[in-house]
Amino acid sequence: MKFKKMAGTCMEKKCSQKPSCEDACAAKAKAGAKDNCKKDDKECLAKFKKMAGQCIEEKCNQKPSCEDACAAKAKAGAKDNCKKDDKECLAKFKKMAGQCIEEKCKKEAFGKPSCEEACAAKAKAGAQENCKKDDKECLAKFKKMAAQCVEEKCNQKPSCEDACAAKAKAGAQKKCKKDDKECLNKFKQMAAKCVEAKCSGMMIYFITVSTTKFIELFR
């Protein structure tokens, strides 16, 4: 009975896990070799061994997507900190994965975060590191820091290029799904066309001659 229970625990831990990319490639090649090669046919066995190597090279050695990286980080955290049946703990790390995707991956999909988003993210990170959950005074301090950051850095007139990018980004966020590369590329091209049409042909340069006056120079 004891060993039957051990076998069950082993299967639960090792067999229910999704195989790694490398293991999947190796298993597929091994199955192919088993179906097609004789036991002593070294040339045939070498062919499937090579296929396994090519599969790993093409499919496994790629940088994980932003979403996969968030999921992997949360999974590792849950594995280190949660018991198998602790639903509350597992749900916490699942939520963390969702927040990671929301904060990091959508920004990657839609390009560089706006000035306001960068200020908010910096303040939020500071609050998470330094404030307790119920410390309203500490949280308010970082909220104020975010507002000051926006006031000092973001309330300036954007450059022509930034305005084009912001308009395209807003359109992409409204119209495109996060993984719709074709749609996202369409708005990326629109931004490039906007820059080409409106920003690259500017012939007027402004130089400051005082704090209140500008002279327009034409070339």
Which letter does DSSP use for residue 158 in this model? P
Number of Cα atoms under 13 Å in the Cβ half of residue 27: 7
Q: What is the pLDDT of residue 153?
A: 80
Q: Residue 210 above 80 pLDDT?
A: no
- Look at 10-19, 31-40, 54-63, 163-172 and tell me which has the smallest mean pLDDT: 10-19
The pLDDT mean for the chain works out to 77
Question: 87-120, pLDDT tens digit by residue?
Answer: 999 999 988 888 887 777 765 555 566 778 888 8
**pTM above 0.75?**
no
- Percent of the chain whose predicted confidence (pLDDT) is above 70: 75
In the chain, where the domains are located = 17-60, 65-109, 111-156, 158-219
User: What own/partner pairs with CB < 8 Å and gap ≥ 24 does 61-65 have?
Assistant: 65/105
Coil vs helix vs strand at 218: strand
- Look at 146-150, 188-192, 199-203, 207-211 and tell me which has the smallest mean pLDDT: 207-211
Q: Residue 2 above 60 pLDDT?
A: no
Helix (H), strand (E) at residue 207: strand 204-208
Q: What is the pLDDT of residue 154?
A: 80
Q: What is the pLDDT of residue 212?
A: 39
Distance (Å, whole) CA 80 – CA 83:
9
Q: What is the pLDDT of residue 197?
A: 83
Q: What is the pLDDT of residue 36?
A: 92
Question: 125-174, pLDDT tens digit by residue?
Answer: 888 888 888 899 999 999 999 988 888 888 766 678 878 888 888 888 88
